[in-house]
């Protein structure tokens, strides 16, 4: 009986003139100014290079950060920089420099 009442109520909300039915229970209200503040990867969400939002998939952040640093580490190494110089330039630990250089150059 409860299900039938819910269906009737929903039908009335959709078919009544002037009534607005919500599309989904978790739908955000329209006409609201949502700030696009971005994150530390991009100044705005629309300009973000990540395939998924870092706040939706937090485990992607270290992988993307490492992918962004690998070419820089290899470029510094090709210019003859030592591990310590690469470490200081990228702001990472000595072990991270070894990990970055162990990955194939892009």
How many domains is the chain partitioned into structurally? 1
Low-confidence residues of the chain: pLDDT under 50: 17-18
Return the pLDDT at 55. Answer: 78
Q: Where are the alpha helices (DSSP H) in the chain?
A: 2-15, 60-78, 83-90, 94-102
83 part of a folded domain:
yes
The overall pTM is greater than 0.85: no
Determine contact, residues 77/85, Cβ cutoff 8 Å: no
89 part of a folded domain:
yes
8 part of a folded domain:
no
CATH number of the domain at 81, please.
Answer: 1.10.10
The domain containing residue 96 runs over which residues? Answer: 52-106
2 part of a folded domain:
no
Return the pLDDT at 9. Answer: 63
Joined together, the tokens standing for residue 44 give 């705005």
């Amino acid at each position: 009986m409860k299900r039938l009442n819910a269906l009737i109520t929903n039908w009335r909300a959709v078919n009544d003139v002037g009534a607005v039915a919500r599309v989904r229970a978790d739908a955000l209200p329209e006409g609201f100014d949502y700030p696009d503040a971005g994150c530390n990867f991009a100044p705005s969400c629309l300009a973000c290079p990540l395939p998924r939002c870092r706040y939706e998939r937090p485990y992607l952040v270290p992988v993307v950060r490492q992918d962004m640093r690998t070419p820089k580490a290899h470029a510094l190494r090709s210019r003859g920089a030592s591990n310590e110089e690469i470490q200081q330039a990228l702001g990472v630990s000595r072990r991270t420099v070894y990990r970055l250089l162990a990955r194939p150059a892009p």
